[in-house]
């Protein structure tokens, strides 16, 4: 079972999406327009994380770590955003 935790406009500066110990896995829906990259700490860059292409949904398994996200080329602007659900 998964519960929507929130949505955020991801920017070109890494920001925390989900706190540590968030659950078994997290579903990430990237509504675009650009790819985003996920990582388990604030040092994530577009070249060293888990990529979620625009217009796709991916499941990310961070273990007990927090999840951070960064936009690949430009900030997401509403109504484009990233939504996420934590699996419990």
Burial (CB count within 10 angstroms: exposed 0-12, middle 13-18, buried 19+), residue 17: buried
Q: What count of other Cβ atoms lies within 10 Å of the Cβ of residue 31?
A: 17
pLDDT at 23 over 80: no
Count up the domains in the chain and report the number. 1
Domain that holds residue 45: 2-87
45-55 pLDDT per residue, tens: 988 999 999 99
CATH code assigned at 20: 2.60.120.770
Could you tell me which of 68, 23, 65 has the C-alpha nearest to residue 45?
A: 68
The rounded distance, in Å, linking the Cα atoms of 65 and 25 is 11
The rounded distance, in Å, linking the Cα atoms of 72 and 20 is 23
Diameter of the chain by CA atoms? 33
55-80 pLDDT per residue, tens: 999 998 887 888 999 998 888 887 77
Give residue 2's pLDDT: 63
Q: pLDDT tier at 19 (50, 70, 90 boundaries)?
A: confident
Select the more confidently predicted residue: 63 or 33. Answer: 33
């Amino acid at each position: 079972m998964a519960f929507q935790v929130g949505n955020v406009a991801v920017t070109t500066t890494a920001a925390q999406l989900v706190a540590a110990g968030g659950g078994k896995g997290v579903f990430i829906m990237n509504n675009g327009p650009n790819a985003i990259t996920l990582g388990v700490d604030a040092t994530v860059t577009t070249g060293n994380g888990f990529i979620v292409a625009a217009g796709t949904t991916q499941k990310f398994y961070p273990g007990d770590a927090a999840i951070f996200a960064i936009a690949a080329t430009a900030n997401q602007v509403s109504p484009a955003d990233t939504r996420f659900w934590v699996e419990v």
